[in-house]
Structure 1
Amino acid sequence: MVLRNYWKSRHKSGRFPTLCWIRPGLAALFGFCVTQLVCGAGTVGEHAFVVQKDAEFDVTYNDTVTSENQTIYAFNHTISRNKTEGVRVTVDVLQQQLESPILFVIRQKQAVMSFQVPLILRGLYQRKYPYKHVGRTLCQPPTRAASETQYFFVDVSTLSSQGTNYQLRVSRVESFTLQTDKKFSFTASPSQPQFFKYVFPDGVDTVIVKVNSDVNFPCSVMSVQDIQCPVYDLDNNVAFIGMYQTMTKKGAITVQRKDFPSNSFYVVVVVKTEDEACGGPLRFYPLRPDTLIDAGNRTKDLNVVVSPAINSEKYVIGMLFCLGIFLSFYVLTLLVACVENKRMKRREVFENPPDMSPAETASLLGKNGDGKTPASPYEYGSFADNGSTLSSEAITDSATSTDNNYGYMERSLDSVARSRQESLSSVEEDDYDTLGDIDSDKNIVRTKKYLCVADLARKDKRVLSKKYQIYFWNIATIAVFYALPVIQLVITYQTVVNVTGNQDICYYNFLCAHPLGALSAFNNILSNLGYVMLGLLFLLIVLQRDVMNHRALVRNDLSALECGIPKHFGVYYAMGTALMMEGLLSACYHVCPNYTNFQFDTSFMYMIAGLCMLKLYQKRHPDINASAYTAYACLAAVIFFSVLGVVFGRGNTVFWIVFSVIHILATLLLSTQLYYMGRWRLDSGVLRRIVYVIYTDCIRQCSGPMYIDRMVLLVMGNIVNWSLAAYGLIVRPNDFASYLLAIGICNLLLYFAFYIIMKLRSGERIKCLPLVCILFTAVVWGFALYFFFQGLSTWQKTPAESREHNRDCILLSFFDDHDIWHFLSSIAMFGSFLVLLTMDDDLDTVQRDKIYVF
């Protein structure tokens, strides 16, 4: 009575007692404790009674609360240092009083938790969802004693003058502490989140927390938090601390002991109020912002497993495996070089006996062994005017006989050296064309029905060499200015992920993401080492060939001066540099792969495809190949469209129409350029000339195309490109970057196939080394594409949807399917480069005016 009168007097005077913590003995003596309501409950009524009850676990309490009374439930339980038990409070409100909800305040030893029922959770656009059934798990304050009895109190109050019935139940959580490699199943909802404790066992420094569900929706959030109070386990606060990620069916977080000083952590699972974060449908938007929306049934069955991650030994094995694979290519290349060097020395001894000088050898080879003069320039490996090929005997005599290969050498070494010195008088190429017009006009030469390489290799060698070296210097400059901001940006991304704990920023394969230091997925970065190492190896091979060719030119070797495909290595250097940069930028992309930095991984892929096509064309057209500035400008336009397509292309009809029109027009312009060997003009009279050609060649006399082989290639190329343009316009694929890359690869493969077919059709042959490279590269590309299309993650979807494709490691418990794609694609690209470098080695002793242009 004394305390009741004291409470009434204080209430009438407007003064309220502060929060009163009564010893258990005193509380038992008086039977109640006077408490000021917290967390916005407000004041109680004038005749409010405060009643404290000794409560027990696993008992359901059915009571009524009004503004005139509040109830305090006192619980006690024993906590053991060696055993952790969870405590869960479950509340049901039988009437829904939205204006005056019931407030529940739970006071523990080191924490206070409060919530109202109905619990109002907000979604997108501040939409409100009320929940009358609420379940919360209490955090577990640490204890130093071997056994300790702790007390906690549940205060129930409201400002409603009408009585509100509720049910309260406090129970112990079974299996609150998760066991290693043991699955635990549970159910969660937005108003009933769940969390569990995990303690690192001895000898385990890293674990993977995996949460799975059989259904996609409702959308959920899994979080890993340090052992502390309070635990952030609601949709509106789960992202405050720790690491977290959204999930539908799969979620996985790698946790390291060093990040948790207590050697333990909480695994928190929260079901979101809406599904938009996981790619679900957008629910209707209410007209009034304060409208309450029925949330419906959003319970979700899940299970959690905590498994040890790989140890440091696996890291060492993975790194040694990666290095071993690519170092073996260095060893293999060295062995092949040694064998080839011995073979070349034997052939030099055979062809040039010690008692005969090179000049004498050349003079003896002035005629064929049978006394016949050499074949005409258009008889070797070419087509007669009527379109028929030469007899196999003529081809064999011209292509396979070593003596015949030197049959054309009628000039002495002195005359060759003199003409070469004269050709070196000009070392710069100005606006004028260095083709000697007094010998032949370019319109006459380039429009002949049958061209040979000599017709398109008439420009000064040093001028062309400098022209093609610009490819290397330009791409080296591009690489430096491109890579520096990329590295800075991905470091920022990784820092943001580590500081905020938001693992939705980066699209990893979380089931096989092995951290090292600050990097979250070291294995995805390490597997890009092959691009760098094999790109460097290719540069060394090109350098060795460049040095040998330079020495041959210095000693006036007739084969280097007048035979084979003209040796220009600038584009090769650019290709090797692009391969190395692809590895570096792919590694940067995989530091934090996401929607905003995709171009890091694809830019140099476009470069590689474009350079390969340019090099393939340059082989037979060295005088008219595109300059470095034009080539890189076109590649920059491709990258620009790639960015636009990803940002604006998804479902945008206008963009796809514009892109398809540009694609088709570019194909037609390039086809015209290739068909007429650049001998056409894009000016105001181009339409008149097109109509005139159609009238004279197609309508008036209906004659066939003058350049049949080129026409076949260009017709096939236009069919392929028009089909790809129609596919993009109709289907509108989400991954525009891959679609654009597919266009480049299809054109490259088409041109490469045409080159091989025409090479064989012209009577040329493919030597053993390039043939092995072609077969090996084709097989490796097949396996590489298989692993590429596994699709372990995709930034085209939401992070939660991307994680549905995550899979475990499949190689050495360290590498996943995408890592194997990195291994195989780097090997395949290296093999493709070797094919381009060596495929015309059979022509090294064939005169250039006998090598057919196609």
Structure 2
Amino acid sequence: MVLRSCCKFGPVLVLFQLGYVALLLLCVTHLRFARAETKTVVQKDAEFDVTYNDTVTSDNQTIYAFNHTVSRNKTEGVRVTVDVLSEGAESSPILFVVRQKQAVLSFQVPLILRGLYQRKYPYAHVGRTLCQPPTRTLTETQYFFVDVSTLSSLGTHYQLRISRVDSFTLHTDKKFSFTASPSQPQYFKYVFPDGVDTAIVKVNSEMTFPCSVMSIQDIQCPVYDLDNNVAFIGMYQTMTKTAAITVQRKDFPSNSFYVVVVVKTEDEACGGPLRFYPLRPDELIDAGNRSKTLDVVVSPAINSDVYVMGMLFCLGIFLSFYLLTFLVACVENKRSVDRVTVVYRKPSVTPVSPYEYGSFADNASTLSSEAITDSIASDANYGYMGQETLKRRPFLTAIHHVAICIERSLESVTGRSRQESLSSIEEDDYDTLADIDSDKNIVRTKKYLCVSDLARKDKRVLSKKYQIYFWNIATIGVFYALPVIQLVITYQTVVNVTGNQDICYYNFLCAHPLGNLSAFNNILSNLGYVMLGLLFLLIVLQRDIIHSRALDRNDLNALECGIPKHFGLFYAMGTALMMEGLLSACYHVCPNYTNFQFDTSFMYMIAGLCVLKLYQKRHPDINASAYTAYACLAAVIFFSVLGVVFGKGNMVFWIVFSVLHILATMLLSTQLYYMGRWRLDSGILRRIVYVIYTDCIRQCSGPMYIDRMVLLVMGNIVNWSLAAYGLLKTPNDFASYLLAIAICNLLLYFAFYIIMKLRSGERIQCMAMVCILFTAVVWGFALFFFFQGLSTWQKTPAESREHNRDCIVLSFFDDHDIWHFLSSIAMFGSFLVLLTMDDDLDNVQRDKIFVF
């Protein structure tokens, strides 16, 4: 019976239980809605420029309703200002929600902004500007509402004020001053006037700190105007005293944009001091007074005509050097033709009485090679006239036959080229040994050396050896430049996509964009290095062709006289100058501390190649090979990279570098003093002690090579002083410090070369003197503009912009561009000095040219 009853009433019990549960849920829902209905919502019609004092709790919510008329021809900003007057409001903030057409703005008060390491800064006074959605009609009435609510059961007192910003729109070339703080950012609207396609926005302040951010954003809602979101869209840059951004109309479809200025909660981004750490992670830190007074002005930037004038100006300067070189070449060619004509008509050897033939023959060794050359040329090339001349002058006939016999006998010497055999070596300078012609130890250890002593190798072998300099640097340049170009394109793309103007250290007051390039003028000004480097290669090529033709016709002047002409290093120098222009342009696409070595790598190479060329002039046989030279330059560049990355404040690095610098100086000094006739092996210390004992203690003799010793002592003093300076001061710009070392050594050796040249009785021809004076003057002006320091990546981007200045030439080029112009001209002039400084020796036999 019981079982039957359960089976009969079971479904009824289940339905009853489900109904009971549904009834309970209905009751709970009713109670919740009933409780919600107890919260009071008050809507008020509010007016502008009226301060509303009120209290909000969790049980009430206030809505302020505003309306205003918006005109298409006049833009007015609307600003919301809120103050929380109650103590302890951080634990129960008030939420303000501004509902307007096409936008909703919400913020809490106190406003909590985070800084470095998530430190929290509360602000009880907040001011925000409402964005202005565009209107399609001539006039339109817009409504917006301000909702005030909180979850605190205790009352929180606040003040609310809505006001109009009459100066919301910026006008061209009119300065406007305002005040901003982290909780009260400011932004203004600018509309491009007709005829203006590019504008530059400048924000200035007399106050270095607090650190600020200036941003350019498109006309849209919402506007990102807080420290924690200002970098979300648009272009932005940090600033202390100065900020400037060039804006192009094509980037803004509405032909207008917002200028947003935000004061940061902390100053570390601008190089300010790091504030103290909070005791607890959730501790609130008093931000203090961080309001800042600024002024903003928007000015039209340059138009396309200025771009064209700038490019024509740049091309005109350097093409004028091509024209000047062509004119000088024409004049020199005419002078050489006239000189050859005079030589053909009036032989350079004066008539000598037959009675003086004996004394003349005894002193035949003093006869200049030019006279012999003219006499042989007369016989070989002018037939009848030459033969008649020899018949009338019997002493010339004898000398002519003697010269021919000597020439033929020397050409038959096995294993030696004609140029090497005619080196005019005086046997009195050597011991009478059988291997005098082959033992270089005997030759190079003479007290007084001549160029003939160090120009004994086959000219074809040396020519190939020095041509390797050119081919190696061309290969290095290709493999170095390709990844550099790829990297700087990536840098520029990142800047354009993210809008972060702090990535690149431009002179923003004179940075003219073109296409995707942010500072086209800084890139264009490097054109001079490329054009003048190419011009120098053409000049060297002309000299190379003339010299090759002289060798082909067996010109004795080319074979026996003057400094041996090897043009491989000159070709390498011209190529290095062109590569310097290319890599400097790449660096200026986005200059910063991570790619500064692009701008300096080939400067090291140029300095090194110039030193090698100076040394090669008097030491053609013992100059360093291309592989050794480039390996040393690679080590220099390697240390440059290490110094940029690890050198700042790292004393261990500076100690290691200074020790290596001093050791390298000592090893190079030994190499130069002994002309390479020493060995670095296990017995080096024993030999050093022996030399000190025999030369300094036992007989106290002076140095055998006094001139070399003076140079090396001065070089060691300079280099040791530079090493000590680096160790004591640890300069931040290690790349420039390393470049200064290279330039100081180059200038020291060049000064020594000039002094010894004049001391040896040689002279400097007019062309070389003009090049020296011109180059010195240009270098002086170039260094003046270089040290203006328009930007520096050793500081923060904001601090670097404090050095920015306006353009000074054609409203297109700044001081650093002038440095590019002048330094390229000065380098070109320096190369010409090296090319022409020994032209006075072209007719002097090599055994009369001293080595120093």
TM-score, normalising length from structure 2? 0.88
What is the rounded CA distance, in whole Å, between the counterparts of 1:198 and 1:267 in structure 2?
Answer: 7
How far off is 1:438 after superposition?
5.3
Partner residue in 2 for 1:233: 225
Q: Distance in 2 between matches of 1:9 and 1:224?
A: 56
Look up the match of 1:845: 843
Residues 249-260 of structure 1 correspond to what in structure 2 (within 5 A)?
A: 249-260=241-252
Structure 1 residues 553 and 206, CA, compared in 2 at 3 Å: closer, same or farther?
A: same
Look up the match of 1:816.
Answer: 814
Matched, 1:246 2:244: no
| Aligned equivalent of 1:267 | 259
Q: CA RMSD in A?
A: 2.5
Q: CA separation of 1:757/1:409 partners in 2, compared to 1, >3 Å: closer, same or farther?
A: farther
Once the two structures are TM-superposed, the CA of residue 416 in structure 1 deviates from its matched residue by 3.8
Q: Which has the larger radius of gyration?
A: 2
- Alignment CA distance shift 1:352-1:412 (3 Å): farther
Deviates more, 1:611-620 or 1:699-708: 699-708
Measured after TM superposition, the shift of residue 408 of structure 1 is 11
Residue 79 of structure 1 is matched in structure 2 by: 70
2:136 aligned with 1:144: yes
Which string of whole-angstrom CA distances, capped at 9 and with x for unpartnered residues, describes residues 370-411 of structure 1?
98444599xxxxxxxxxxxxxxxxxxxxxxxxxxxxx99996
Unmatched segments (≥5 aa) in structure 1:
1-7, 17-43, 378-406, 430-435
Tell me which residue corresponds to 1:584.
Answer: 582
Give, in angstroms, the shift of residue 440 of structure 1: 4.3
Letter in 2 for 1:271: V
Equivalent in 503, 506, 516 of residue 505 of structure 1: 503
Please name the residue that 1:687 is paired with.
Answer: 685
2:635 aligned partner: 637
Q: Does 1:108 align with 2:100?
A: yes
| Alignment equivalent of 1:563, drawn from 533, 539, 561 | 561
Matched, 1:123 2:115: yes
SS of equivalent to 2:847: helix
1:434-833, aligned counterparts within 5 Å? 437=435, 439-833=437-831
Residue 305 (structure 2) pairs with residue 310 (structure 1) = no
What are the Cα deviations for residues 161-207 of structure 1, in whole angstroms up to 9, with x where unaligned? 00000000010012100000000000000000000000000000000
Query: In structure 1, the residue corresponding to 2:284 is in which secondary structure?
Result: coil
Q: What does residue 158 of structure 2 align with?
A: 166
- Cα distance in 2 for partners of 1:88, 1:482 equals 55
Relative to structure 1, the CA distance from residue 287 to residue 10 in structure 2 (aligned partners, 3 Å threshold; closer, same or farther) is same
* Cα distance change on mapping 1:301 and 1:713 into 2, 3 Å: same
Tell me by how many angstroms 1:47 deviates.
Answer: 2.4
CA gap 1:516/1:9 in 2 versus in 1, 3 angstroms: farther
Distance of 1:216 and 1:726 partners within structure 2: 35
Tell me by how many angstroms 1:420 deviates: 5.7
C-alpha contact 2:94 2:110 (8 A) present in aligned 1: yes
- For residue 333 of structure 2, the aligned residue among 331, 334, 341 is 341
Instruction: Give, in whole Å, the separation in 2 of the partners of 1:418 and 1:468.
Output: 29
> Conserved in 2, the CA contact under 8 Å of 1:130 and 1:295?
yes
User: d(CA) in 1 for partners of 2:411 and 2:681?
Assistant: 38
1:51–1:70 Cα contact (<8 Å) kept: yes
Q: Tell me the equivalent position of 1:390.
A: none
Structure 1 residues 583, 68: CA separation in 2 closer, same or farther (over 3 Å shift)?
Answer: same
Report the equivalent of 2:53. Answer: 62
Once residues 214 and 445 of structure 1 are traced to their aligned partners in structure 2, the CA distance between those partners, rounded to angstroms, is 72
1:52 aligns with 2:29: no
Q: Which amino acid aligns with 2:321?
A: F
- For residue 45 of structure 1, report the CA deviation from its aligned partner: 6.3
The whole-number CA distance in structure 2 between the counterparts of 1:227 and 1:677 is: 73
Paired with 1:672 and 1:254, the residues of 2 have a C-alpha distance of 56
Secondary structure, counterpart of 1:98 in structure 2: helix
Mapped to 2, the partners of 1:640 and 1:453 lie a distance apart of 36
* Cα distance in structure 2, aligned partners of 1:552 and 1:330: 26
Q: How far off its partner does 1:99 sit?
A: 2.4
Superimposed CA distance per residue, residues 673-711 of structure 1 (whole angstroms, 9 cap, x where no aligned partner): 000000111111111111111111111111111000000
CA positional deviation for 1:412: 3.2
* Matched residue SS, 1:514: coil
Give the Cα–Cα distance (whole angstroms) in 1 for the partners of residues 321 and 399 of structure 2.
39
- Once the two structures are superposed, what CA deviation does each residue of 1:232-254 show, in whole Å capped at 9, x if it has no partner? 00011101110000000000000
- Which AA in structure 2 matches 1:822? H
Q: How does 1:87-98 map to 2 (within 5 A)?
A: 87-95=78-86, 96-98=88-90
Amino acid in the other structure paired with 1:310: I
8 Å CA contact 2:561, 2:842 repeated in 1? yes
- What residue identity is the alignment partner of 1:57? F
Partner of residue 288 from structure 1, selected from 280, 285, 288 = 280
Letter in 1 for 2:470: F
Contact 1:424 1:462 in 2 (8 A): no
Would the aligned equivalents of 2:411 and 2:417 in 1 still touch at CA under 8 Å?
A: no
Cα offset, 1:10, TM superposition: 11
Q: 1:291 to 1:410 in 2, by over 3 A?
A: farther
| Equivalent position to 1:277, from 250, 269, 274 | 269
Partner amino acid, structure 2, of 1:89: V
Kindly indicate whether the alpha-carbon contact (under 8 Å) linking 1:128 and 1:293 is maintained by their aligned counterparts in 2: yes
Deviation at 1:637, TM superposition (A): 0.5
CA deviation vs aligned residue, 1:442-500 (integer Å, no higher than 9, x gap) = 11110100000000000111000000000000000000000100111111111111111
SS of residue matched to 1:804:
helix
Partner of 2:393 in structure 1? none
**Corresponding residue number in structure 2 for 1:319:** 311
1:366 shift after superposition:
11
2:132 pairs with 1:134: no
Distance 1:578 1:572 in 2: 10
Counterpart contact for 1:366–1:408, Cα < 8 Å? no
**Residues 267-306 of structure 1 deviation map (CA, whole Å, 9 limit, x = unaligned):** 0000001111111111112242211111111100000000
Cα displacement (A) at 1:352: 3.1
User: Contact 2:509–2:806 at 8 Å: present in 1 too?
Assistant: yes
Secondary structure of 1:725's partner?
Answer: helix
For the 8 Å contact 2:416–2:458, the answer to whether it is kept is no
Residue in structure 1 matched with residue 429 of structure 2 by the alignment: none
CA 1:446 to 1:339, structure 2 compared with 1: closer, same or farther past 3 Å?
same
- Report how many aligned residue pairs link the two structures: 780
**How far, CA to CA, are the matches of 2:85 and 2:412 in structure 1?**
103
Give the structure-1-normalised TM-score: 0.88
Q: Which moved more, 1:619-628 or 1:337-346?
A: 337-346
SS in 2 for 1:352: helix
Task: List gaps (5 residues or longer) in structure 2.
Answer: 1-25, 369-397, 421-433
Distance of 2:229 and 2:410 partners within structure 1? 82
1:821-852: CA deviation from partner (whole Å, max 9, x where unpaired)? 00000000000000000000000000000000
From the two aligned structures, give the one with the greater helix fraction. 2
Per-residue CA deviations over 1:565-612 (Å, capped at 9, x if unaligned) read 000000000000000000000000000001111111000000000000
Written as runs of structure 1 = structure 2, the 5 A alignment for 1:385-404 is none
- Written as runs of structure 1 = structure 2, the 5 A alignment for 1:22-33 is none
- Between the aligned partners of 2:65 and 2:471, the Cα distance in structure 1 is 79
Given that residues 93 and 150 in structure 2 are in contact (C-alpha distance below 8 angstroms), is that contact kept between their aligned partners in structure 1? yes
Distance 2:243 2:699 in 1: 70
Alpha carbons of structure 1 residues 144 and 826: separation in structure 2 relative to 1, 3 Å:
same
Partner letter of residue 177 of structure 2? Answer: S
Residue 187 (str. 1) matches residue 185 (str. 2): no
Counterpart-to-counterpart distance in 2, 1:418 and 1:548: 27
